[in-house]
Structure 1
Amino acid sequence: MAKQLILCDCSGSQSIDAQGLSQATGISCSKLHSALCTSEIEATATAIAGGEATICCAQEQQIFEELAAEIEAPSPSCLDLRDRAGWSDDTRSTLPKMSALIAEAGLSVPAAKSIDVISEGVCLILGPSEIALEAAAKLQETLAVTVLLDDGTDPPMTRAFEVIRGKLSHASGALGQFDLRFDALQQLEPTGRNWGWNEPRDGGRTSCDIILDLSGDTSLFPAPEKREGYLRADPKHAPSVADAVLEAVQMVGTFEKPLYVRNEPLLCAHSRAGQTGCSNCLDICPTGAITAKGDHVSIDPMICAGCSSCATLCPSGALTYDAPPTESLMRRIQTLATAFLGAGGTAPRLLVVNDHGGQMISYAARYGRGLPADVVPLEVEAINTFGHAEILAALAAGFAWVDILLAPTSEQEVLEREVALANAIGGGKSALLDHIDPDALSEALFDAEIPAALAEAVRPMGNRRQITRQAAKSLAPASELMPLPADAPYGAVLVDPNACTLCLSCVSLCPSGALGDNPDLPQLRFQEDACLQCGLCATICPEKAISLEPRLNLSDSALSQVVLHEEEPCACIECGALFGVKSTVDKIIEKLAGKHAMFQSSDAARMIRMCDNCRVDAQYHQKNAPFKGGDRPQVRTTDDYLSKRRDH
């Protein structure tokens, strides 16, 4: 059976143009139902049994899935048209938006890669004795509990769970693999009438699957809400403690841990030769999952919470978000824009949200004005995945404006930086929205002034840097040089010709190959499109001749190598071969000839103007040549040895 849209106007509370949707999407539509989840449930069952049905209602998805299981049919896909488009105070046609949402829902999203995490329920509880022991008593039946007491409390007279006393000196890891170290550790001695503690010792070490922190002290980990397996609650707030205890019970078994970020170390611009270049990911990671490993960085997938800040800020593409891949997000953006414009819509706006924003949209639709007809919502797994490249791709694809709705877990600093960069390139057509009130969100969207959209939409392709350049050329075709914020990953390398000695230290350390040399001539070459603005070249330059200029060069010159500095080569006075830089050789002669012990004679000073081969040859043939040894000893044979013995 062909694909079919099963439409429902939810008791006549929204208007849906079935014929128009069918023409715009190319998908056949059912008749317009009003109560698929109740009185028309039989029609729903028939549609599900036929297969390839998309039910345009997400509110009752659980009912539809249970119905599919009952009739032994595949679960149907569900699409929310009502909250995101149908329930709105906007009187304009919602056909373009509904067409866009339907087209996006038809895309296949690759499944995220994952690894299995096993938790056997070994739990460490921290906190005041009266709170921690009470929590242990509740968990003893389901978890293997150990309570750490750090005060003078007498040991409880029970063996239902373990109790130790001491100081937790170190904790690392995440769900299923916490590593713990203790000082002044004392274990229980449950003998005699009165139990006691053994002698304290430092350096105790163990592991556990879950940590229940009821201490009320500073968190053991950065961004504790993002550390899986680490449950933290205020001991003075009983409901929080109860929630944490309940959550701990559910952390037993085998879980799938998504591998959020793909790492390609060869592209990393973190450091070279002990010199630090880019440290964006290290500086921004909220969980501490990223560490420096030589010239590149390493990500602990067990600690990574998938916020995507590192991938968004990575200038080289060494880190990319992979749950799902960036290519999937770009395809969704372009599909939404294409379908909206193809259905007769003009100047659409993109509203980027995560699950928190999705809930706000639902509340705004049910209790308020909803979304304007030209605002197309795009829900992403992590809001920080939407950086400057994604914003520019959306504008180039035909969106007139891009709004990003902040969430409580968003890394706002990253988004502010990315929006500022996108506005510098795209002409100020994106903004961050920081609203926790659904009505305030609706008002901000209804009251906004909408600029004109791009006259001819384009579909940028490639990696994020290539997409940025393509989008920028379409958004500002008359521009060649765009000044950018100081932290932008695009720009030029500027060289002071009076200071540069063409030592080429910068070339050897450039991680992207933006700086290069000429094997035949003393030249420093530069390809601006490849420059990451990591600063390694400026850091390593012994003459401090290099500075950086953040900018986006849209001319063709940025795609090819240009000469930043060149000088006359020095010709060998013996063979005429070109080597080195003439001005540098002249400076060496001026500084050493007749002034240094090794270059007192004219012959020795003359060698400075020779190429490597001729210099070695001259040194070999000079008097007291350092490379010339004495006569080689005569080779002794067996006969020589025997004749010497006969002589004696």
Structure 2
Amino acid sequence: MPTLICDCNKTMPLDAKSLGRALDEDLTLHSTLCRREAGAFQQAVKTGADVVVACTQEKRLFAELGTQIEGAISPIRFVNIRETGGWSRDAKSAMPKLAALLAAAKLPEPEPVPTVTYKSAGRLLVIGPLEEAERFAAVVGDALDVVIFSRGGSGAQERKYPVVGGRIESLTGWLGAFQLKWSQDNAIDLDLCTRCNACVAACPEQAIGLDYQVDLQACKGHRDCVRACDVAGAIDFAREPVAHDDTFDLVLDLRRQPGFLQHAPPQGYFHLPPEQENGPRALDVVIKLRELVGEFEKPKFFAYKQKLCAHSRNEKVGCNACVDICSAEAISSDKARQQIKVNPNLCVGCGACTTVCPTGALTYAYPRAGEQGTKVRTLLNTYEKAGGAAPVLLLHSQERGQALVEELGRAARVGAGAGVPANVIPFPVWHVASTGIELWLTAVAQGASHVALLATHEEAPQYLDALETQMQVAQAILEGLGYEGTHFSLLRSRSPSDLDQDLQLLARRRGAAPRERARYAVAAEKRTTLELALDHLVEHAPRQPESIALPAGAPVGQILVDKDKCTLCLSCVSACPASALQDNPQAPQLRLVEKNCVQCGLCAKTCPEQAITLQPRLLLTPERKQPRVLNEAKPYSCIRCSKPFGTLKGIENMLGKLAGHSMFQGAALDRLKMCGDCRVIDIYSAENESRITDL
């Protein structure tokens, strides 16, 4: 795969030889690849192989040049080495990082995943004051089918767009499938109204405006408006509210309070409050509205395995992490089916649900975990091969995070900042909330000295809380194992200058990594990857304690059982989604395989005796992977056949509670002391004896 590098008119001190050695490729350094040396690009494309171009600024130009070459069908990949390091203050030391970025660009594209389809015919609902709504409608009306919903303001007399009004009952849906339900409670029927303004002129209290809505607080009931509208018959104060509903493809909401309160509103919904109606965001919204006509696809970002889900068992809700964190309100509890339900149309792909999911029931599908892991390993291995030391992974979003990194790089070019340090490797992801503890620990196990996440204004507050919680757990594990230094940080940079200061501090945070680098591949299952990371980190740890106490929210730990309360009913065993809690078919025992425990809490919520508590920790002895008895009891033997069928404590508790009940006296009470088989035989024998007696 040919790699084309360019020092952008000699503004970057690139070392083609060192980059080539790291990539096992002979590289030629260009200075004007997008101009006088464009022929080199054309020759590379003619080879038929995939081409990597180390420039993103002229991406469009190179794509156009590629289409002009006969028979050229190979894809062209682009990677930014200029703003991400070539223009930094220490650019001469950045060759290992640049080699790593080039190597990652050579990786195969992510495998296709199922998609979610939206279909929009361009039917737009504009909600807000009539005058403002008509002003926006005039801008997009040539491209979209506009309907206005208004309860206030005055508009033009010319009826260009349908106008409806009333009280909104609900607004739900997404791009191509919004549903508005409202109650028409206005005395004036806007469909019958001719806008003659006779009612406006006749009203002595001026309770009717040019929006043709009656202000009932100002109205004194003279009904002069009704008499003035006698011919059209549009006004009727005795009319009962009429329920209406309609569907729309797009929604533009001009009210101060949005119709959707979640942090990530549905795609196709745009909120433009009054203070933004004349600013740059208004133009951006108009452009996006005009573009959203047709058929659109997005990846289905998640995969769900119900059998691993810790949300609900036996009509008890345990883990609610994904439901609570979703900023799009795309996840809900389906208690009837004892599972969660994810609406793919509302999902925006942030991946926060997969990060907080303790079991891996929800996994991030685009890119897949294995593809993310391959990229991490490629970046770190190439960086090390090129002679780099103490690499820092900087995970950032592909939108605002990427833009912020590039803004910093351009500022550094003109001396307004230091730029991205030589040992900080930018790693674009769809959303920073989509990565979690298993990937971060894997990065450390594979040689990263630090993992940082760049948060901008895109992230919901609950995302940042969850990420910090996970970082505290990961840091506690590494500190407990004796790895010195700080390994994780969450940057909250809002501007290039903020990011510049944060990155200069970040470059000096050098946490210790294992002397031997891990070479395992990231697995599709979250828990498998976490165990691989823990095993490697423990094996090469400077310190080997028996256990490490972890903060609340850790996905590993043990179960503590109050033996005085526990009756060994084993309801917790059937509730456990991870097979951490087990019984013993040979004896009345409750056992725990601590490695499997995800600390979801379903066992504690299921226990009728409230005998279970959780203790987050990481056990490092071999017992972590073996069944350990939490509680056991003497068996209770059947009074008829002597076969054990329960625990002595459990049966005695049951007998004590039912002994005074009228239904359990004499033979009925004795049957409670029998195993299931003997109980049936005894009932059948009693019935036969009764029939013989009757005969």
Normalised TM-score (structure 2): 0.84
Q: Secondary structure at the match of 1:507?
A: helix
Per-residue displacement from partner, 1:442-487 (whole Å, max 9, x unpaired)?
Answer: 3333343423332111134432222223223333432442211112
State the distance in 2 between where 1:248 and 1:449 align: 45
Q: Secondary structure at the match of 1:203?
A: strand
The 5 A counterparts of 1:204-219 are: 204-216=244-256, 218-219=257-258
Q: Aligned in 2, Cα 1:40/1:520: closer, same or farther, shift over 3 Å?
A: same
Q: CA deviation at 1:191?
A: 6.1
State the distance in 2 between where 1:241 and 1:440 align: 27
Q: CA deviation at 1:266?
A: 2.3
Q: Secondary structure at the match of 1:320?
A: strand
Q: CA deviation at 1:607?
A: 4.6
Long gaps (5+) in structure 2: 198-231, 413-417, 480-485
Per-residue displacement from partner, 1:283-310 (whole Å, max 9, x unpaired)?
Answer: 1111111111121111111111111111
Q: 449, 452, 457: which is aligned to 1:400?
A: 449
Q: 493, 513, 533: which is aligned to 1:471?
A: 533
In the alignment, which residue of structure 2 is the partner of 1:285? 326
Q: CA deviation at 1:228?
A: 0.9
Long gaps (5+) in structure 1: 635-648
Instruction: Output the amino acid matched with 2:122.
Output: G
**Is the Cα–Cα contact under 8 Å of residues 222 and 288 in structure 1 kept in the other structure?**
no
Instruction: Output the amino acid matched with 2:676.
Output: D
Aligned residues: 624
The 5 A counterparts of 1:379-398 are: 379-398=428-447
Q: CA deviation at 1:192?
A: 9.7
In the alignment, which residue of structure 1 is the partner of 2:483? none
Q: Aligned in 2, Cα 1:192/1:446: closer, same or farther, shift over 3 Å?
A: closer
**Is the Cα–Cα contact under 8 Å of residues 85 and 91 in structure 2 kept in the other structure?**
no
Q: 409, 431, 438: which is aligned to 1:365?
A: 409
The 5 A counterparts of 1:19-418 are: 19-29=17-27, 31-52=28-49, 53-72=51-70, 73-74=72-73, 75-90=75-90, 93-108=93-108, 109-151=110-152, 156-158=157-159, 160-184=160-184, 186-189=189-192, 196=234, 201-216=241-256, 218-223=257-262, 226-236=265-275, 237-239=277-279, 240-294=281-335, 295-355=338-398, 356-368=400-412, 369-410=418-459, 411-418=463-470
Q: Secondary structure at the match of 2:548?
A: strand
State the distance in 1 between where 2:303 and 2:404 align: 31
Q: Aligned in 2, Cα 1:39/1:497: closer, same or farther, shift over 3 Å?
A: same
Q: 606, 612, 618: which is aligned to 1:540?
A: 606
Q: Secondary structure at the match of 2:451?
A: strand
**Is the Cα–Cα contact under 8 Å of residues 224 and 230 in structure 1 kept in the other structure?**
no
Q: CA deviation at 1:116?
A: 2.1
State the distance in 2 between where 1:592 and 1:283 align: 42
Q: 491, 497, 504: which is aligned to 1:446?
A: 504
**Is the Cα–Cα contact under 8 Å of residues 588 and 633 in structure 2 kept in the other structure?**
yes
Normalised TM-score (structure 1): 0.90
Q: 481, 486, 489: which is aligned to 1:431?
A: 489
Per-residue displacement from partner, 1:342-371 (whole Å, max 9, x unpaired)?
Answer: 222222111111132222222222222222
Q: Aligned in 2, Cα 1:585/1:262: closer, same or farther, shift over 3 Å?
A: closer
In the alignment, which residue of structure 2 is the partner of 1:582? 648
State the distance in 1 between where 2:605 and 2:137 align: 55
Q: Aligned in 2, Cα 1:632/1:123: closer, same or farther, shift over 3 Å?
A: farther
State the distance in 2 between where 1:334 and 1:197 align: 72
Q: Does 1:527 align with 2:587?
A: no
Per-residue displacement from partner, 1:58-89 (whole Å, max 9, x unpaired)?
Answer: 22111111111222434522222222232221
**Is the Cα–Cα contact under 8 Å of residues 221 and 287 in structure 1 kept in the other structure?**
no
Q: Aligned in 2, Cα 1:117/1:139: closer, same or farther, shift over 3 Å?
A: same
Greater mean alpha carbon deviation, residues 238-247 or residues 6-15: 238-247
Instruction: Output the amino acid matched with 1:231.
Output: F
Q: Aligned in 2, Cα 1:425/1:501: closer, same or farther, shift over 3 Å?
A: same
Q: Aligned in 2, Cα 1:588/1:91: closer, same or farther, shift over 3 Å?
A: closer
State the distance in 2 between where 1:619 and 1:213 align: 70
Q: Aligned in 2, Cα 1:40/1:600: closer, same or farther, shift over 3 Å?
A: closer
TM-align CA RMSD: 2.6
Q: Does 1:516 align with 2:516?
A: no
Per-residue displacement from partner, 1:329-388 (whole Å, max 9, x unpaired)?
Answer: 111111111111122222211111113222222222222222221111111111111211
Instruction: Output the amino acid matched with 1:174.
Output: W
Q: CA deviation at 1:180?
A: 0.9
Q: CA deviation at 1:247?
A: 2.4
State the distance in 2 between where 1:59 and 1:133 align: 39
Q: CA deviation at 1:112?
A: 4.2
**Is the Cα–Cα contact under 8 Å of residues 124 and 210 in structure 1 kept in the other structure?**
yes
Greater mean alpha carbon deviation, residues 340-349 or residues 302-311: 340-349
In the alignment, which residue of structure 1 is the partner of 2:225? none
Percent identity between the aligned chains?
35
Per-residue displacement from partner, 1:487-543 (whole Å, max 9, x unpaired)?
Answer: 222211111111111111111222222212122311112111222212121112122
**Is the Cα–Cα contact under 8 Å of residues 119 and 254 in structure 1 kept in the other structure?**
yes
Q: CA deviation at 1:176?
A: 0.3
Instruction: Output the amino acid matched with 1:116.
Output: T
Q: Does 1:617 align with 2:671?
A: no
**Is the Cα–Cα contact under 8 Å of residues 129 and 154 in structure 2 kept in the other structure?**
no
| Higher RCO (CA 8 Å, separation ≥ 6 residues) | 2
Q: Does 1:456 align with 2:491?
A: no
State the distance in 1 between where 2:196 and 2:265 align: 45
**Is the Cα–Cα contact under 8 Å of residues 187 and 197 in structure 1 kept in the other structure?**
no
Greater mean alpha carbon deviation, residues 122-131 or residues 233-242: 233-242
State the distance in 1 between where 2:592 and 2:408 align: 52
